[in-house]
Amino acid sequence: MKTPVSPNLSRRDFVRLSSLTAGAAVMATAGTTRGLGQVAGSDKIRVGIIGCGGRGRGAGKNVLEAAAGVEIVAVGDLFEQQAVRARDQFKVSADKTFWGFDAFQKVLATDVNYVILATPPGFRPSHFAAAVAAGKHIFIEKPVAVDPTGIRSIIATGKIATEKRLGVVAGTQRRHQASYIETMNRIKDGELGELTGGQCYWNGDGIWFREKKDWLANLSDFEWQCWNWYHWDWMSGDQIVEQHIHNIDVMNWAFGGPPVKFYGMGGRQNRGSLPGNIWDHFAVEMDYANGARVSSMCRHAAKTATRIGERVVGTKGVAIPNNATITGEKPFNYTGPNKDPMVTEHTDLIASIRANNPLNETLQVAESTLTAIGARMAAYTGREVSWKWLMEGSKLDLFPANPGPGPGIFGPVAIPGTTPLV
Domain boundaries, given as residue ranges, for the chain:
11-174+344-361, 190-338+370-392
pLDDT band at 384 (very low <50, low <70, confident <90, very high): very high
Q: Of 183, 137, 176, 153, nearest to 37 (Cα)? A: 137
Q: How many CB atoms lie within 10 A of CB 337?
A: 7
pLDDT per residue as tens digits for the range 319-351: 999 999 999 999 999 999 999 999 999 999 999
Q: Which element (helix H / strand E) includes 82?
A: helix 80-90
Give the CATH number of domain 11-174+344-361; options: 3.40.50.720, 2.120.10.80, 1.10.10.10, 3.40.50.1820: 3.40.50.720
Q: How many CB atoms lie within 10 A of CB 388?
A: 14
Contact between 96 and 59 under an 8 Å Cβ cutoff? The reply is: no
For the domain made up of 190-338+370-392, give the CATH fold.
Dihydrodipicolinate Reductase; domain 2 (3.30.360)
Q: What is the mean pLDDT of the chain?
A: 91
Section 6-33 average pLDDT: 36
Burial of 153 (0-12, 13-18, 19+ CB in 10 A): buried
Give the torsion sign (CA, 235, 153, 131, 48).
Answer: positive
Question: What CA–CA distance (Å, rounded) separates 24 from 29?
Answer: 9
Q: Which CA distances in Å does 66 have to 41, 140, 331, 332, 344? A: 15, 16, 33, 29, 6
Contact between 75 and 49 under an 8 Å Cβ cutoff? The reply is: yes
pLDDT per residue as tens digits for the range 365-376: 999 999 999 999
Question: What pLDDT is attached to residue 40?
Answer: 56
